[in-house]
Amino acid sequence: NSTNNISSTPSPSNPTTNPSPNLSTNSAPATTTQPASPVNNTSSISRDAAVDVVKQWLAYKQVLMAPPYSKQLGSDLLVGKAYRDNVDKSSEPCSSSDSDDCLSSVDWLKKYNAQYSFGVQRIDTVNRFESSGDTGTIFVTVTEYRTLHKTGGRKTSSGGTKQARYDLKYENGKVKIAD
């Protein structure tokens, strides 16, 4: 599993903290929201495809984490835990006594009429990349600045540069973030 959670929204148990790695190999912010390009060899994930899906995730968060909370690309970029934590947990049972623990990040934002805005989002460096079969892991240094806007005009800004790990999976012809 990852050393950093890819969720960029508040966790239900801690609504104002949000670890959020996000990436780009150059200093320009990611701007594309197209699904990750498939890799030519279905038995492994290329470094370029891994970097591309992370850049796309960074860009996608800008439309996922603010009205109208567009979930359409979620299944093109995320799978498994990453999808459930960020986009939709409704398909899994929840036994928590705190109903907020049963919400994805985007559903938490919608419930509390909150949203994120993003400033800088980039991958500063790719530190390491590993791939085997239909899985891979990319370790990157990411810079991201974001502001959580809550009801009543309250704002909480956070961000900076940090090390991030993304676990990847090749599924249905695309590289996706799994955790």
**Which among 93, 61, 102, 97 is positioned nearest to 78, based on CA atoms?**
61
Q: What is the pLDDT of residue 140?
A: 98
Sequence length of the chain is 179
> What is the rounded average pLDDT of the residues 14-28?
37
Sequence-distant (6+) residues with CB within 8 A of 36 are: 49, 52, 53, 56, 76, 77, 174, 175, 176
Amino acid at 44: S
> What is the rounded average pLDDT of the residues 94-116?
91
> What is the rounded average pLDDT of the residues 162-179?
96
pLDDT classification of 32: cutoffs 50, 70, 90: very low
In tens, the pLDDT along 39-86 reads 444 458 999 999 999 999 999 999 999 999 999 889 899 999 999 999
Check pLDDT > 80 for residue 108: yes
Q: What is the pLDDT of residue 26?
A: 37
The residue among 23 and 110 whose pLDDT is bigger is: 110
Check pLDDT > 80 for residue 31: no
